[in-house]
Amino acid sequence: MDGTITRFNLDFVEARRRVLRDVEQMNLRTLDMTEQMSTYLLLKRLKENIDADKFDGIRKKFYGYVQEMEVRAAQDATLYPGALETLNLLRGWRLKIGIVTNNSRVGTELTLKRLRLDNFFDAVVTRDDCDEMKPDAGPVRKVLESLDIRPEDAILVGDSIIDIMAAKAAGLPSAGVPTGPFSGERLLQTEPDYLLNSVNDLPRLIEYLGTSMQ
């Protein structure tokens, strides 16, 4: 969602700093826990070192921070130029469309409703709907199950390296778009199957793939 069909406006770094300050105060921070590590991966690391009850409390607190940020960002969310026309075109082709996001259900629904896209997608999977998050395969597999689509018949389009990693883990092709926080060069380092200028190039890619398989 963010950085692919909407303009990227989430300050994840500030959220991570807040999380890391708390981790440090609890004497649980290790040298590899940096602002570059996602909150999800930070929590995975913490889970290895603390008991389940304490971990659940920390996770709820940390995701509370992140959800506050997501709700604020939803108030200012705007569509990426041309994204609505692209989505309508794909809909006209009777393709199934799903969203896989590491955002909360609350923040996601606020964004989609504000942009009048709340009834547009056949499936929406957020971090509240799955034990795993991207870059793990769980949420991608869940959205494929909801859409009743095999991995080989789908393509994941995302603006982040974790999108590409999640697609690989779930066994489906991916297309990176440098319209979020990562440059095309950085996305290429994770080896997506395709690199597009934006989501608006997706119809052309789908047409190419359809022709190449005939």
The whole-angstrom separation of Cα 87 and Cα 203 is 9
Question: What is the structure's pLDDT at 165?
Answer: 96
Which homologous superfamily does the CATH classification assign to the domain defined by 83-212?
Answer: HAD superfamily/HAD-like (3.40.50.1000)
Question: What is the structure's pLDDT at 47?
Answer: 87
Check: CB of residue 28 under 8 Å from CB of residue 57.
no
Question: What is the structure's pLDDT at 115?
Answer: 94
Question: What is the structure's pLDDT at 22?
Answer: 86
Which residues of the chain are under the pLDDT cut of 70? 212-214
163-175 pLDDT, tens digit per residue, is: 999 999 999 999 9
Question: What is the structure's pLDDT at 213?
Answer: 53
Closest by CA to 139, choosing from 93, 109, 99, 191, is 99
147-163 pLDDT, tens digit per residue, is: 999 999 999 999 999 99
Question: What is the structure's pLDDT at 45?
Answer: 85
Going from the C-alpha of 89 to that of each of 38, 116, 138, 173, 204, the distances in angstroms are 33, 16, 28, 21, 11
**What six digits make up the tokens of 76?**
């200012």
Closest by CA to 192, choosing from 210, 206, 178, is 178
Reduce the DSSP state of residue 132 to 3 states and report it.
coil
**What six digits make up the tokens of 153?**
């018949």
The whole-angstrom separation of Cα 132 and Cα 125 is 11
Domain-wise residue ranges, the chain? 12-75, 83-212
